[in-house]
Amino acid sequence: MLDALASVMQAVYDEVEAFEKPTVAAVNGYALGGGCELAMACDIRIASENARFGQPEVALAILPGAGGTQRLARLIGKGRALEMIMTGRLMDAQEALSAGLVSKVVPQEDLMEAVGETVEQLLAKGPLAVRLAKLAVQAGYETDQRTGLLIERLAQAVLFTSEDKREGTSAFLEKREPEFGGR
């Protein structure tokens, strides 16, 4: 039963990670086990000062089964991930920031405003460029650097022929805000 649940959760979190649009996690309070794994599946993680992260499954004689062993190691490094997973130790927001698990820590009352500002920044950019940047980083990270650079070059070639690139360049030269169409 638990194995089936972990398999379903892993599939759902894989979908979150692979979603073509950027995802932003707002972490307020405890993000343990599956909650931490869901946050790690998102592209950007912003935490309130009272956030705590952990993979305490070993206390139940299981391990993080929804992608936690893989995503945590890729985000904070193998050694830190092993220590957290094998001991079940929690990480506070400031340590999560230092380790690279989150990109920003804000006071609890400012969390949703900070997330909103990040979302606005994403929405102001060329949607095709954001989508292909996400794809290039994710696909390139899973392979060797030479292949990653090829993926980057191909994504850039697509963008250089886009209407959004022409609009972005025109808006820059005309000193106005661009009106991207995602094409």
Q: Is 113 noted as a catalytic residue in this protein?
A: no
Active-site residue (options: 15, 20, 37, 120): 37
Q: Is 167 noted as a catalytic residue in this protein?
A: no
How high is the pLDDT of residue 1? 57
How high is the pLDDT of residue 74? 93
How high is the pLDDT of residue 93? 97
3-state secondary structure 46-114: EEECCCEEECHHHHHCCCCCCCHHHHHHHHHCHHHHHHHHHHCCCEEHHHHHHHCCCCEEECHHHHHHH
pLDDT tens, residue order, the chain (183 aa) = 556 776 888 999 999 999 999 999 999 999 999 999 999 999 999 999 999 999 998 888 888 888 898 999 999 999 999 999 999 999 999 999 999 999 999 999 999 999 999 999 999 998 999 999 999 999 998 899 999 999 999 999 999 899 988 988 998 899 988 888 888
Active-site residue (options: 15, 17, 49, 57): 57
Distance CA 90, CA 68 (A): 14
68-76 vs 78-87: helix crossing angle, rounded to 10 = 140
pTM, two decimal places: 0.87
